[in-house]
Amino acid sequence: MIVAQHLTKRYGERTAVEDLSFTVRPGVVTGFLGPNGAGKSTTLRMLVGLDHPTSGTITVGGRRYADLPDPLRHVGLLIDAKGVHRGRSAHAHLLALAQTHGIPGSRVREVLDLVGLGPVAHKRAGGFSLGMGQRLGIAAALLGDPEVLVLDEPVNGLDPDGVLWLRRLLAGYAARGRTVFLSSHLMSELSLIADDLVVIGQGRLLATGTVSDVIASVAPASVRVVTPAASALASVLQGADTTVTSLDAETLEVQGRSAREIGEIASAHRIPLHELSPRRITLEEAFMQITRNAVEYGTPGGAAPRTSAPLESVR
């Protein structure tokens, strides 16, 4: 479990992270989202003691990372894939990390095989592609079989096979009761693997909760109904918690009722339906709306949410 409390980091005049508090639960994959410059990497760096917080705390299992006698057993971190000496082999890089904790050399070979770098284990890392560097970073994170995996943009440079492999790895890790905390710009990818979200912008917390809760907080789920008897259906659907919006003569958008309920009501009133489709905004659209006012390095009009919601479920 990761707990941040009133975490603040200032670099001179610039505030990178301000009064940030959140909790990452064990046993789930938590996505860490925010626009460029939102303070995600700074937060992860403070988690593992690379940066010192100006004030506030961030702990792993209730302890500061630097106070852990066996940090690699608690947290596995991928923060930048190219953080390896170009002249050193993948095997030697991992061995040097493993030796600090007395982790046996057999574990080094195990994680190298696990990430698919076994055949190039003794080649100089300077010749590695971005994807291979990313796999080496993931191998380093897995070395101590940690309780918490923290990955910053882990799918960068991975091929589709690698993305699928990583998705399964993270799901498997969380299924074993471990904590997975990852940042990514690839919303579609995150929506497939994340259970919870922490969304920040300009160093502040913007939203946190389950993926469904966060999306629902931006735009409640709705159902689009196409029927030749739109006005008749609208009148029978009206209720205390139901909002019906007429989009055109035959199309209604209904909030507060499920597609199943609408279908049953229409059937009971013998109203023919031509289309009945649940609609929910995507994680990407929800993210755009949440962070609209908190984009540090945006392009003009770039952060505007798309207005037409594709017919897909986010989970």
Contact window for other proteins (CB under 8 A) among 72-80, 226-234, 260-268, 284-292: 72-80
The answer for residues whose C-beta is within 8 angstroms of residue 20's C-beta and 6 or more apart is 4, 6, 7, 8, 39, 43, 56, 200, 203, 204, 205
Binding mask 138-157 for other proteins (x = CB under 8 A): --x-x-xx------------
Q: Which is nearer to other proteins, 111 or 230 (CB)?
A: 111
Binding mask 84-103 for other proteins (x = CB under 8 A): xxxxxx--xx-xxx-xxxxx
> Helix 130-142 crosses helix 90-101 at what angle (to 10 degrees)?
20
From candidates 110, 250, 253, 296, binder to other proteins by CB under 8 A:
110
CA angle (251 as vertex; 245, 257 as ends), nearest 5: 55
Q: Alpha-carbon distance 161 to 134, whole Å?
A: 14
Answer for the pair 55, 71: CB distance below 8 angstroms, yes or no: no
175 binds other proteins (CB under 8 A): yes
Task: Report, in Å, the least distance between residue 131 CB and other proteins.
Answer: 16
Q: Give burial (CB, 10 Å; 0-12/13-18/19+) of 293.
A: exposed
* Residues facing residue 2 across a β-bridge: 24, 60
Number of other residues whose CB lies within 10 A of the CB of residue 273: 16
Q: Which is nearer to other proteins, 95 or 262 (CB)?
A: 95
Q: Which is nearer to other proteins, 8 or 242 (CB)?
A: 8
CA 166 from chain center: how many Å?
A: 13
Q: Which is nearer to other proteins, 77 or 198 (CB)?
A: 77
CA 58 from chain center: how many Å?
A: 19
> Helix 130-142 crosses helix 105-114 at what angle (to 10 degrees)?
140
Binding mask 52-71 for other proteins (x = CB under 8 A): x------------xx-xxxx
73 binds other proteins (CB under 8 A): yes
Token reading at 94: 């991992």
- Site for other proteins (CB under 8 A): how many residues? 55
164 binds other proteins (CB under 8 A): yes
Give the gyration radius of the chain's Cα atoms: 24
Q: Which is nearer to other proteins, 4 or 77 (CB)?
A: 77
Note the residues at the interface with other proteins (CB under 8 A): 45, 48-52, 65-66, 68-73, 75, 77, 79-80, 82-89, 92-93, 95-97, 99-104, 107, 110-111, 114, 140, 142, 144-145, 161, 164-166, 168-169, 172-173, 175-176
